[in-house]
A and B are shown apart, each in its own frame.
Chain A
Amino acid sequence: MSTIAVEALTKRYRTVTAVDDLTFELTPGRITGFLGPNGAGKSTTIRLLLGLARPTSGRATINGRPYAELRDPLRHVGALLDPNVFHPGRPGRTALRIAARPARIPGQRVEEVLHLTGLGSAAHRRVGGYSQGMRQRLALAAALLGDPETLILDEPANGLDPEGVHWLRGLLRRLAAEGRTIFVSSHLLAELAQTVDDVVIINQGQLVAAGSMAELLEHAGASSLEDFFLGATSPDVRPAPPTAIRSRSLS
């Protein structure tokens, strides 16, 4: 089973510290929600995990190695960062073939993920004509190409209609049941509460809380993930969150 570990990770952009001494480790085979207000550093953390940005200090590893050092990374890690990462002039099927080819993933797998994400009938259409929800499904299809044991998803429900959100929830549950590690960032707290096992909450780049969602809610006496999140990220709580809900590791 795969593990994601972030150790004392820091990223500074001139005067802005986007990620500040962040440390956590995920439990393999579980769905972990990655929460934080806008600008908290979630997307930056994910880009650091995926080697798309360099940390100022600290380490982010998957199975003990930085992403850039993984052999055939698409077969280990599937990532959805943004639905708008496909050339609008290419058909969806071609966009996936281009994404699959560096890892020598066969065309048959491209067809499988197209059908898995409900894009089979739209695969010949140009991505520029896709709705936001269809592009999100295409990005998810790209993440699933290598049949990876780890999935890192940044706002995967964005642009999906209620049926799509329901489908996504089922898909993530099914993938987790197969023993995959899923790290999912989202602002849809009510939706996330139905999906995740664990949560990592950050604010202004710093860890606020991490642990099993059920235990964190019980310990804080919160009635919902939303209540817990608002309490944990309130300006009154930062920068010294209650140690009882602060965990450096989920494993």
Chain B
Amino acid sequence: MRSLVSTELLRLRSTRSAWIPLAAALAIAVVAVIANTSMTGHDGGMHLSPAALPGLLRASGGQVIDGAVLLAWVVLSAGEFRYRTSVTTFLGEPNRLRVVSAKLLSAVLTGAAVGFLAEALSAATSAAALSAHHVPLAWSQPGVLGAVVTVPLLAALFGALGVGLGLLLRNTAAAVGLALMWAFVVEGIVPALTREPGIVRWLPEAAANAALHGASPAAALPVGVALTVLAGYAAALAGAGAALTARREIGTAIG
């Protein structure tokens, strides 16, 4: 399994369309802190106090990182079929479930690593920015540890979601389009269609929001439940992707 995971990580490093979004998301994590702290005193800007630190950490390493990790693993998983590299992949390791497991493990590791790196970068930037405004740093306050743990966890789960989605659809554009549609359209209209406003909190994007920002809106799920729900979606998508990959025929030209 180590050699397969190492192969997947080499694939990631050598695919620009996969690692550029990750690098961009890390840059955004820094820029977000600078933007938030520089808005101090302006209309709509946050009030800088020691209590602002958890908010800065969550905002900088949150959904952009999740989206970037999802995109990277959709590109890598669906790209196997788009560029027909699946032929060499499955010749090298005919046990397809081992290949899918390696992809999932690599995606989870990448997500966790990028999430931690984003939190480290935003923590360093926050420390510099708050110090520049003479705001004392309170690392031990409630919410800091939660942000540092939750952001990598969410990113790891979004990596697994990306692998599952890419393997299921095999088409990068369709998988990315579906993810965007889901986040920006589907979760918005589901309550209206089902006439069950409470159902939305069980959907992936709402669960991710609840995990990241805590159960502040009264209707949101508690953080632990939200992470479990998201893990359930990741497991379901990954399982379906694995089952289809195991059954699919590779290189289907006849003759």
The reply to whether B90 and A51 form a contact with Cβ atoms under 8 Å apart is: yes
Residues of B within 8 A of A42 (CB): 255
Residues of B within 8 A of A67 (CB): 94
State the CA gap A142–B85 with chains docked (Å).
Answer: 12
Is the CB–CB distance between A89 and B91 below 8 Å? Answer: no
Interface centre among A91, A99, A142 (most CB of B within 10 A): A99
| B92 neighbours in A (Cβ, 8 Å) | 73-74, 99, 101-103
Give the complex CA separation of A43 and B88 in angstroms.
16
Q: Does B43 contact A (CB under 8 A)?
A: no
In the complex, the answer to whether A87 meets B85 with C-beta atoms within 8 Å is yes
* Chain A residues closer than 8 Å to B39, beta-carbon distance: none
The answer on a CB contact under 8 Å between A40 and B91 is no
Interface residues on A, range: 35 or more
- Interface positions, chain B 114-143, Cβ under 8 Å from A, are none
C-alpha gap A13/B255 in the complex (Å)? 12
Contact with A along B33-61 (1 / 0, CB 8 A): 00000000000000000000000000000
Which residues A46-91 have CB closer than 8 A to chain B?
47, 50-54, 67-68, 70, 73-74, 79, 81-82, 84-91
Q: State whether B250 touches A53 (Cβ < 8 A).
A: yes
Cα(A169)–Cα(B79), bound, Å: 34
Query: With an 8 A cutoff between CB atoms, is A4 at the interface?
Result: no
| A30 part of interface (Cβ distance < 8 Å) | no
State how many residues of chain B have any CB contact under 8 Å with chain A: 30
Q: How far is the CA of A46 from the CA of B15 in the complex (A)?
A: 30
Q: Nearest residue in A to B91 (C-beta to C-beta)?
A: A79
Per the 8 Å Cβ criterion, residues 213-255 of B in contact with A are 249-255
CB-based contact B88/A86 at 8 Å: yes
- Given contact pairs A82-B251, A89-B15, A51 touches B10 in the complex (Cβ within 8 A): no
Residue contact B254 to A39, C-beta cutoff 8 Å:
yes
Query: Which of A91, A99, A101 has the most chain B CB atoms inside 10 A of its CB?
Result: A101
Beta-carbon contact of B3 and A86 below 8 Å: no
Q: Mark B1-33, 1 if CB is under 8 A from A, else 0.
A: 001101100110011110000000000000000
Across the interface, A88 reaches (CB within 8 A) one of B83, B91, B250, namely B83
Q: What distance in Å separates the Cβ of B29 from its nearest Cβ neighbour in chain A? A: 26
Cβ-based interface call for A33 (8 A): no
Task: Report yes or no: B254 in contact with A54, Cβ–Cβ below 8 A.
Answer: no
Give the complex CA separation of A86 and B83 in angstroms.
Answer: 7
B254 touching A84 by the CB < 8 A rule?
no
Closest to A50 in B: B91
When distances are taken between beta carbons in the complex, the residues of chain A under 8 Å from B194 are none
Q: Does A158 contact B (CB under 8 A)?
A: no
Interface centre among B15, B16, B87, B250 (most CB of A within 10 A): B87
The A9-47 residues at the B interface (CB cut-off 8 A) are 13, 16, 18, 38-44, 47
Cβ of B83 and Cβ of A43 under 8 Å apart?
no
The reply on A230 being an interface residue by CB < 8 A is no
A-B pairs with lowest CB-CB distance, top 8: A39-B255, A102-B92, A68-B94, A52-B250, A101-B7, A85-B87, A53-B249, A102-B93
Given A99-B92, A101-B6, 4 extra CB contacts under 8 A = A67-B94, A68-B94, A87-B79, A101-B3
| A-B pairs with beta carbons under 8 Å apart, 25 shown | A13-B254, A16-B254, A43-B251, A43-B253, A51-B90, A52-B87, A53-B249, A53-B250, A53-B251, A68-B94, A70-B94, A73-B92, A73-B94, A79-B91, A85-B83, A85-B87, A85-B88, A87-B14, A87-B15, A90-B15, A98-B7, A101-B3, A101-B6, A101-B92, A102-B89
